[in-house]
Structure 1
């Protein structure tokens, strides 16, 4: 299985991000994972919100997001996810669950990539 991240935000924010995903490259709606192809990268996208079933009760309470929704993204490399996130997260408020033990604000993700283009949360302790 390829690495995944979860984008968390209000339903309005997630609708904007979902629209950006669909216009980012070639987007195909599929039965289980939607498929996005762009810039030589292939992503699996799940906008169903079913990923909430994977969280422990109370795990997301500290985020204080009203009407929370989520998008699960499967990616193939750090450079692919960087390019995608810098495009789809710009100007939006929410959080990214790295699935490596950290939940980071969208603004921090974009700032970090702009300062350190080779940043990869999978290599942090």
Structure 2
């Protein structure tokens, strides 16, 4: 089972995620943990040392996603980050749908074992 921490201040996101992934949750494929900001996320990281991935918003009250990213090693030294400030990791399909909202430059691809399509890394341009 993959344990996923979702960090976002949108009140409805937890309900949407649980609805969208209800079958996989019921089948014990995914387990979701939720936090509303970076401070709550750090507490959840300490409570759940077996997290597999963290999906975080950037703009949140109390503590933003970039500050959270910088403080993760304090909460759990075993967690490694795969994103840096100014970069966004999304699929090619998501990028095609959102490219009118962002000015991005493709800087690389990562092939994951369990995915047929590579994950593309884009640099967000000013």
TM-score scaled by length of structure 1? 0.32
Flag the structure with larger Rg: 2
Larger proportion of helix: 1
Bigger relative contact order (CA 8 A; separation at least 6):
1
